[in-house]
Amino acid sequence: MRTGVWLVGARGSVAVTTVVGAAALARGLRPPVGCVTDSPQFSSVPLPAYGDLVFGGHDVAGVPLRERAERLALDGVVPAGLPAAVADDLDAAEARVRPGVDGADRRSQAEQVAGLAADLAAFREREGLGAVVVVNVSSTEPPAEPHPATADLALLDEALAAGVDALPVSSRYAYAALSAGCAYVDFTPSRGARLVALDQLALRRGVPYGGSDGKTGETLLKTALAPMFATRALRVTSWSGTNLLGGGDGATLADPAAAASKIDSKERVLQALLGHPVSGGVHIHNVPEMGEWKTAWDHVTFQGFLGTPMRMQFTWEGCDSALAAPLVLDLARLTARALAAGRRGCLPELAFFFKDPAGTQVHGLDEQHRMLVAWAAGLASGHAPA
Amino acid sequence: MRTGVWLVGARGSVAVTTVVGAAALARGLRPPVGCVTDSPQFSSVPLPAYGDLVFGGHDVAGVPLRERAERLALDGVVPAGLPAAVADDLDAAEARVRPGVDGADRRSQAEQVAGLAADLAAFREREGLGAVVVVNVSSTEPPAEPHPATADLALLDEALAAGVDALPVSSRYAYAALSAGCAYVDFTPSRGARLVALDQLALRRGVPYGGSDGKTGETLLKTALAPMFATRALRVTSWSGTNLLGGGDGATLADPAAAASKIDSKERVLQALLGHPVSGGVHIHNVPEMGEWKTAWDHVTFQGFLGTPMRMQFTWEGCDSALAAPLVLDLARLTARALAAGRRGCLPELAFFFKDPAGTQVHGLDEQHRMLVAWAAGLASGHAPA
Amino acid sequence: MRTGVWLVGARGSVAVTTVVGAAALARGLRPPVGCVTDSPQFSSVPLPAYGDLVFGGHDVAGVPLRERAERLALDGVVPAGLPAAVADDLDAAEARVRPGVDGADRRSQAEQVAGLAADLAAFREREGLGAVVVVNVSSTEPPAEPHPATADLALLDEALAAGVDALPVSSRYAYAALSAGCAYVDFTPSRGARLVALDQLALRRGVPYGGSDGKTGETLLKTALAPMFATRALRVTSWSGTNLLGGGDGATLADPAAAASKIDSKERVLQALLGHPVSGGVHIHNVPEMGEWKTAWDHVTFQGFLGTPMRMQFTWEGCDSALAAPLVLDLARLTARALAAGRRGCLPELAFFFKDPAGTQVHGLDEQHRMLVAWAAGLASGHAPA
Amino acid sequence: MRTGVWLVGARGSVAVTTVVGAAALARGLRPPVGCVTDSPQFSSVPLPAYGDLVFGGHDVAGVPLRERAERLALDGVVPAGLPAAVADDLDAAEARVRPGVDGADRRSQAEQVAGLAADLAAFREREGLGAVVVVNVSSTEPPAEPHPATADLALLDEALAAGVDALPVSSRYAYAALSAGCAYVDFTPSRGARLVALDQLALRRGVPYGGSDGKTGETLLKTALAPMFATRALRVTSWSGTNLLGGGDGATLADPAAAASKIDSKERVLQALLGHPVSGGVHIHNVPEMGEWKTAWDHVTFQGFLGTPMRMQFTWEGCDSALAAPLVLDLARLTARALAAGRRGCLPELAFFFKDPAGTQVHGLDEQHRMLVAWAAGLASGHAPA
C-alpha cells in the first residue's frame, strides 16, 4: 500500500538524501546499507516497500530538490550520478512541497496549524495514501520552557482559539500532523509532540508519535561504549566530547541557545548510562569548511582496578545526512506500520534511533535494539500493544 | 568459607596485582573498581568474600611477590604505599608458591601432572579450603595442533603412561587441576583445558572449567563497538588494529609464533560479530619503553547509506595487569561458586570475560553480560544447570 | 656568581616544579631533560649554574612549597621521593616568599609597586646576588585595553602619583622589577612589561625584559607543524584546537574573559605562520579530573594538489608544569646573562619560548631556534647588541 | 623552452596525477596547491612553465593514461571532470609511452640500457626539447646489496659488456638517462643512480641526479616534529609508526622484502634527527579497501623535565598520489634548470623532497627548506656551483 512520508524541512540535506536514497533502493541501484529495518530481524514485519513510499513536505525556502541533490553529490554525500538517475522521483517530491511556517508567519497559530493540516489531508487524498507519517528533519529550534497552556489539550485549544502563541514551530507541525490523523516523528531535538496536550491529542486521535533527536554519531558511540564501562565496573571520571561541524547545522549550533538543546540531550545520556554525573561536557564548534561532514573527538578518563587511571579517545568522521537518511526511512516504515496496527500515543520502543528517546530512560544501544526488535515482532504478528 | 585461588604464573604482574588487590579490598583500603561481581546484579549470588580468598600458585622463576609488587607500584600499576600495607598477605602467598613445570622439565609428563596435582591437594588440605580454583595467568605459549591422543581421555592416559609428550604446558596444569578436583580457568590464549580428553576428565571428576584469553583492552572495545555497526546495518569494510606493548608480554609476543595464537582469537571475534570477513588484521608491536602499559589504536572504515565511506578510530591506553586482575578475582569467585553448586564441564556463560570464549560463539559484550547475569542468578538460587 | 630568580606566583605548580628541578639538577639527581640551555649549542655561553640560582618570590596565598611539592609528586608531576631529597632547598625558598599584591589590595598602586620593589632590593642585598630575574608564573589575568597613561612613562608616573589605578597586577610586578634593576620575564599571557611606558622604563634603567606566554604544548606543535604546511604549499583550510585542562589553570580559563587572552595569542600564531586566516579556532574546556595534565586535540583539514581534501589530527598529552619549569630555568639563565651583558629593553630573541613573543612576528619554531642560538652566541662572545 | 619529463612507471597513479595536474595548471584550471616551486621564494628562479613540460615515459603494462585518470577521479584523487578537460594532454602523453624493462626481459642488460637510452634520445629529438629529466615513479623494488662491479664505471661497463647482470631495474633506467644526457631523479626508494659507477657516469656526462624516496606523509611529519623534540631537549623514548595503505603500493609493500627498503629509510631519519636510536619502528599494513588513500598513525612517548613521561600521537590521512605529484613537478622543474645551468653529479640540495636524501645527512625539514631556497637562488643568478 502506498504510504506517505511528509518531511518538514523537505529541501534540507537530510530530506533530500532520504528521497534520493529511497528512490535508489526502490530501483535496486544500491544495496540498503544503513537501513536497520532491512536486517534479517525485521524480515517478518510487513513494512511498506521503498517503492511504496510517496514523499512530500513543507519548507520555508531552499533550492529545488534536484539542485540540492546535485550539490550533495559534489560534496560526496550521495554518489555522483545518482541524482540524475532518480531525477523523476526528485521532481515528483519537489512538486509536492508546500510552504511551511516559521517565526515570521503573521497568521495566528491556529490558522497556521489548520493550514498545515489541510496540506496533509490534501496530500493523502490526492495520492491515495493508506497512512501518512510526518518526520521533522528541519533545523534545530532553540529550547524554551513550554507555555502553561500546553499542559492540557483543552487549555491549549482555548489558548490557540484566543490567538495566544502557545506553540513553538515544531509543535505546530506536530499538532497539525496528529490532528490530521498522521503519525509524527521528530528527528530533531525540537519540542515537537513532546507536550502533555499533544500526547493527549495523539491518544484521542489514535495516532502514534516518536522522537527525538536522531542518534547518528557521537551519541551513538556513547550509547555503545558507556555500557561497556558500566558492565565492567570501570569508573569513568571524565568524558569530554568535541564536535566539529559545518553545513547548516554548524551555523545553527554556533548559536549557543540552539546548541543548548542538542547538548542537553547529549549530556543526559551519559549520566543515565553510567549512573553518576561525569565531568567533561559536550562542545560544538562551527567549522564551515567541514561542509556536510562531522568530526567528533571524545576523550574519556577512567579508573581501573585500585584506582589506576586510564584513558581512551575516539574520532568519528561521518557524513551526517548519510547517517540520518536511512534512519528516517526506518522510522517512516516502522511508524507507518504502527499507525496501521492501531498503535497510538508515544512510541518508546523507537529509542534505538534517538539521543533523547520519548517515553523511556533506556539509553544503552543494545538494550534499545532488543526493545525495538521485540516490538517490531509484535507489529508483525498483528498485536498492537496499547 | 575459605576458598583457594591457585595462580599459575604466581609471580607475574597479573598474579601479583591480583593478590595485592584482593588484600586491599579485604581490608577496605580501596573500593572494588573493575570488579564485575561487586555490581548490584550479583549482590544476591553467594560468592566468597575477598577476605576468604587464599592465594597460592606455581611459578618457574621470578622475584618474590613483595618485591614484584613494589616494582608494580613504581610503574603506576598499583598505588604507591599499597604493597607495604598488604605486605603480610604478599608474604603469605609467597610462602605458598611451588615450583612449576616448563619445557625444560626432564620428568615424564605423567610425573609432572602428578606432582602438580599433589601440590594442589596439599594446598587444599593444609589451608582447610572448601574449593580451589586454578587460574592460568602465565605467559602465552605458542599455538600447536593437539596431539592425536588428546581426542579421548583413555587414549591420553595411555599415552601419558607410555611416556608420550602429548600435552603442552598449560594443559598439564589443567589436567592436574581437574584431576585434583579443582576448577580450572585459562586467562591466557594457551590450550589449557580445551581438549576433548580434558573436557571428558572435567565431566567425570564433576568439576567446571572456563576460558580463554582475558578480554581486557582492544578486543573488549571491539565487542562493544562491532555490534553497533551490525545493528545499525553499517557495513564495516576494514578494521585495522595495532597494539603497542612492552613488559614481558611485548617480548613474548614479538615472537610471531606466540603472537599467532593471540592474534587468531582477536581476529575471529570481528568476523563472528559482523557476519563477514573484514580486512585490516591485528598487529602487535613490541615497544619495551611502554612497560606495563598498552596502547591500542584501531582504525575502522565503513560504508553508510548509499555506500558513502566513513571512518572511526580509537586509541585505548590501559594498564594490562590492572585491567586483568579484577577479572581474575571475578572468575575465581564465580567459578568457586559454580564448583560448590555442582556445575561441571565447560562454562560458556563466562564468555563476558574472554576473547575466545570456550563453548560458545557469542562475542557481543552486551549479550555476554546478560548471559552471565542470568547464569549467576541460577547459581544464587541453588540451581546448578548441567 | 649567585643569581636571583624571583617567581611571581611562588607557590604555584610551575614555580614549585622549577625550584624542585633546579635543586635536583644542581645536586646531580636527574639529567637536565627539557633544558634547552643545556644543549650543546649553548655550551660556550657563560650562564649561571643551576646551583648558583637563588629562589624567592611573591605569592598571595598557597600552601608552603614543601607541601605543594609533595602534592605534585602524588600527581606524577615530579618523581616520588624528589621533594624529600631537596627539602632544604624548598624550605629556603619558602623562607624568601613575600606577600604579593592582588585586586583586593587597598594601597595605592604606587605604594604597591614601591613595596614590591623593596622586596626585590632586600632579596638582592640579603643574598648578595649579582643579578636578579623576575619571572611571572602566576595565574593568567583577564585581558584589558591599556590605560591611556601607559602610553608614556612620564604620564604613567604622574597618574600613579595621583592615585590612578593605571596598571593591571602583572604590570605592577613588571614596574617594580624594572625599577629595581631586575630583568623581567612574563611566562603568562598577562600584560606584564608590554606597555610603552614600561618599555621606556626598561631602556632608561638599562634592564631587559621578555615574554610572553610560555609555549609548552599545543602551540609548540603548531609552530613546528604550520611551517611544514607553508613550505610545502599545502593549503590549510581549518585548524581546530581543543584543550582539556584541570588544575588551577582549568578553573581560571573556564572564565571566558581570562581564556580570551590565552586564546588570542594562540590564534594569532597560525595566521602569522600560514599567511592567511584559518577557521576552526582554539577552545579551552575545564575538566577538573585532568589535574596537572593537559590534553590537546588538534584537527587540521588541508588541500593537496588540485584541491584534494586531506586531514591530520594530533593528540598531545603533557604535564604542563613539567613542560614549563625547564623553560623558566632557561629564561632565568639567559636573561640573567643578558642583564649582565648590558642588554636592555625588549628581548625578541627569546621568541622560541613564547606563544606571543614580544618584539617580533617570528613564530616558526625552527626560525626562532636559530634566532635564539645566534643571539646566545653573541652573549657568549661578550657582544651585547643594543 | 620546451622541457621533457620522462616518467618511469608512466601509467601509474603518481605519473598520471602528475600529467593531469600539469595540464590543469598550464590551462589555469586549478591553483598550484602543493607546488613548492610556485612559492614566492622561487619566483626569481627561471624554471620551465607548466605549459612547457612535455611528458613521455616507460611502462611495462597498465591501462592507457586517460582511462587511469578517470579511475583516479572516481577515487577522489583528482577532481571529477578534470580528466575529460585535459584528455588531449593525456592522449599526447600516452602516445609517447614506450615499453619499459623488467625482471623478465631476456635481453642483456647492456642491450636494455641501450634501448632505453635510444627511447630518450628519440623523445628529445622528435619533440625538440632543450632538456630532459627522467623521474622514476614506478613500484618500489626489493633492496639488494650492490654488485661489486658497480663500484667503478670502467668495471661496470666491462661487466655489462660481458653480459653480467650487474644492475637492478631502477639502475638500468638511471644508466640510460645519464648516458643519454638526461637528468635523473628517483622518487622511489630503489637504488637508481645511487651507485659509485653511476655517480662517475653523471660527472663524466655532466648531468645531475637526485633522490630518493619522495617524502609525502608520515616521514614528512617526522622531519617537522622530531626537530621540535630535539631543540626543546625533550627525550623521545619511543616512536611507533603504523601505515595503512591499499592500492598498488599496499600490495607491493605487503612483501616484507620490498617493504624493508622503505622502512629502512623511514627509520634512519629519526635517529639522525634525534641523535640517538629510538625504539618503536615503522610498520606497513596492507588494507586494500584504503585504495589510493593512506593513513599513518604515529605514537610517540617522551620524557619531559625530571623524566616525567608524556605522549603524543598523530593521524595523517592523505592521498599519496596527490601528495607526490606536485613534488614530481617541482623536481622536474628544478632539475631541468640545474641541468641547463651546468650542474652535475649528485644534488643534495633536493633533500627537502626526500626520505633518504642522496648526498646529505640533513633530515630536518626546515633546514632542508633553507638549503633548497639558497640553492635555487644560485640557479636563478646563473651561478652553477659544481
**pLDDT score of A248:** 67
**pLDDT score of B263:** 74
Contacts of D45 (CB under 8 A, 6+ apart): D37, D334, D337, D376, D377, D379, D380
**pLDDT score of C386:** 40
Stretch B167-176: mean pLDDT, rounded? Answer: 98
**pLDDT score of B358:** 97
CA distance B288 to B93: 29
Q: Helix or strand or coil: residue D314?
A: strand
As beta bridge partners, residue A98 has A58
Which residue's C-alpha cell is 586454578?
B134
Among partner residues C238, C290, C317, which is closest to A290 by beta-carbon distance? C238
C70 and C83 Cβ atoms separated by less than 8 Å: yes
Q: pLDDT below 70 — which residues of chain A? A: 248-250, 261-262, 265, 382-386
Stretch D175-191: mean pLDDT, rounded? Answer: 97
Return the residue of C nearest to A76 by Cα: C309
Prior bond to D171 cis, omega within 30?
no
Cβ contacts below 8 Å, chain C against chain D, sum to 175
CA distance A383 to A374: 11
Among D204, D181, D201, residue whose Cα is nearest residue D134: D181
- Supply the mean pLDDT for chain D: 94
Is C289–A301 a contact, with Cβ atoms under 8 angstroms apart?
yes
B80 Cβ under 8 Å from any chain C Cβ: yes
Is D283–B242 a contact, with Cβ atoms under 8 angstroms apart?
yes
Stretch B146-174: mean pLDDT, rounded? Answer: 97
CA distance A257 to A273: 26
Q: Which residues of B touch D297 (CB under 8 A)?
A: 242, 297, 299, 313
Percent of chain B with pLDDT over 90: 84
Stretch C146-162: mean pLDDT, rounded? Answer: 97
> Which CA distances in Å does B80 have to B16, B56, B77, C101?
14, 24, 9, 39
Among partner residues A77, A304, A317, which is closest to B311 by beta-carbon distance? A317
CA distance A66 to A51: 19
As a whole number of Å, the end-to-end CA separation of chain D is: 24
Q: Which residues of D touch C80 (CB under 8 A)?
A: none
Is C305–D224 a contact, with Cβ atoms under 8 angstroms apart?
no
**pLDDT score of D36:** 97
CA distance C348 to C365: 14
Going through chain D in order, the beta strands assigned E by DSSP cover: 3-8, 53-59, 97-99, 131-136, 183-186, 208-211, 235-245, 279-286, 293-303, 309-319, 345-346
Which residue's C-alpha cell is 571520571?
A237
Tell me the CB-side half-sphere exposure of residue D297, using CA atoms within 13 A: 20
The grid coordinates listed for D68 are 587511469
Return the residue of D nearest to C365 by Cα: D228
Q: Which residues of C touch B80 (CB under 8 A)?
A: 80
Q: Kindly report the nearest CA distance between residue A206 and chain B, in angstroms.
A: 30
> Which CA distances in Å does C172 have to A236, C133, D76?
44, 15, 58
Written in H, E and C, the secondary structure of A325-384 is HHHHHHHHHHHHHHHHCCCCEECHHHHHHECCCCCCCCCCHHHHHHHHHHHHHHHHCCCC
Amino acid letter, D190: S
CA distance D58 to D116: 8
Q: Kindly report the nearest CA distance between residue B340 and chain A, in angstroms.
A: 25
Other Cβ atoms closer than 10 A to A360: 16
Return the residue of D nearest to B76 by Cα: D309
Q: Which residues of A touch D76 (CB under 8 A)?
A: 76
**pLDDT score of C268:** 82
Which residue's C-alpha cell is 563453548?
B359
CA distance D102 to D280: 35
| Complex ipTM value | 0.95
Q: Which residues of B touch A220 (CB under 8 A)?
A: 228, 232
Is B76–C80 a contact, with Cβ atoms under 8 angstroms apart?
no
Residue C385 above 80 pLDDT? no
- Give the chains touching D; criterion: ≥3 Cβ pairs < 8 Å: A, B, C
Residue D381 above 80 pLDDT? no
Is B34–A78 a contact, with Cβ atoms under 8 angstroms apart?
no
The predicted-structure confidence for C112-128, as pLDDT tens digits, reads as follows: 999 999 999 999 999 99
CA distance A294 to A316: 8
Contacts of D298 (CB under 8 A, 6+ apart): D218, D221, D222, D239, D240, D241, D242, D313, D314, D316
Q: Which residues of C touch D36 (CB under 8 A)?
A: 231-233
D313 Cβ under 8 Å from any chain C Cβ: yes
Among A63, A52, A28, residue whose Cα is nearest residue A248: A63
> Which CA distances in Å does A92 have to A89, B219, B306, C88?
5, 48, 21, 84
The predicted-structure confidence for D202-240, as pLDDT tens digits, reads as follows: 999 999 999 999 999 899 999 999 999 999 999 999 999
B210 and B268 Cβ atoms separated by less than 8 Å: no
The predicted-structure confidence for C192-203, as pLDDT tens digits, reads as follows: 999 999 999 999
Is B76–C76 a contact, with Cβ atoms under 8 angstroms apart?
yes
Stretch B40-57: mean pLDDT, rounded? Answer: 97
Stretch C317-326: mean pLDDT, rounded? Answer: 96
C36 and C326 Cβ atoms separated by less than 8 Å: yes
Percent of chain B with pLDDT over 70: 97
Return the residue of B nearest to C315 by Cα: B315
The DSSP secondary-structure symbol of A44 reads: T
CA angle C297, C299, C300 (to 5 degrees): 145
Residue C382 pLDDT level (bands cut at 50, 70, 90)? low
The DSSP secondary-structure symbol of D354 reads: B
D245 and D287 Cβ atoms separated by less than 8 Å: yes
**pLDDT score of B276:** 93
A174 and A186 Cβ atoms separated by less than 8 Å: yes
B residues 236-295 near A, CB within 8 Å? none
**The residue count for chain D:** 386
Q: Which residues of C touch D28 (CB under 8 A)?
A: none
Among C240, C317, A25, D218, residue whose Cα is nearest residue B307: A25
C336 and C131 Cβ atoms separated by less than 8 Å: yes
Q: Kindly report the nearest CA distance between residue A188 and chain C, in angstroms.
A: 25
C18 Cβ under 8 Å from any chain A Cβ: no
Which residue's C-alpha cell is 526493545?
A371
The predicted-structure confidence for D301-339, as pLDDT tens digits, reads as follows: 999 999 999 999 999 999 999 999 999 999 999 999 999
A22-25: Cβ within 8 A, 24+ apart: A22/A50, A22/A53, A22/A55, A22/A89, A22/A329, A23/A50, A23/A86, A23/A89, A23/A90, A24/A82, A24/A85, A24/A86, A24/B306, A25/A50, A25/A329
Q: Kindly report the nearest CA distance between residue D368 and chain C, in angstroms.
A: 10
D76 Cβ under 8 Å from any chain A Cβ: yes
Stretch D236-264: mean pLDDT, rounded? Answer: 80
Q: Which residues of B touch D75 (CB under 8 A)?
A: none
- Supply the mean pLDDT for chain C: 94
- Give the chains touching B; criterion: ≥3 Cβ pairs < 8 Å: A, C, D
Amino acid letter, B321: S
**pLDDT score of A382:** 57
Q: Kindly report the nearest CA distance between residue B109 and chain A, in angstroms.
A: 37
Q: Which residues of A touch D315 (CB under 8 A)?
A: 315
Does residue C347 or residue C265 have the better pLDDT?
A: C347
Strands B131-136 and B3-8: parallel
CA distance B336 to B51: 14
CA distance C10 to C18: 10
φ, ψ for residue A168 (rounded to 5)?
-70, 165
Residue B314 above 50 pLDDT? yes
Q: Kindly report the nearest CA distance between residue B247 and chain A, in angstroms.
A: 17
Is A233–B315 a contact, with Cβ atoms under 8 angstroms apart?
no
Is A80–D76 a contact, with Cβ atoms under 8 angstroms apart?
no
Is B304–A319 a contact, with Cβ atoms under 8 angstroms apart?
yes
Q: What is the DSSP string of C127-149?
A: HT-SEEEEEE-SPPPPP-PPPGG
Among C33, C17, C25, C24, residue whose Cα is nearest residue C72: C17
- The burial class, CB within 10 Å (0-12 / 13-18 / 19+), for D386 is exposed
The grid coordinates listed for A366 are 543494545
Return the residue of A nearest to C75 by Cα: A309
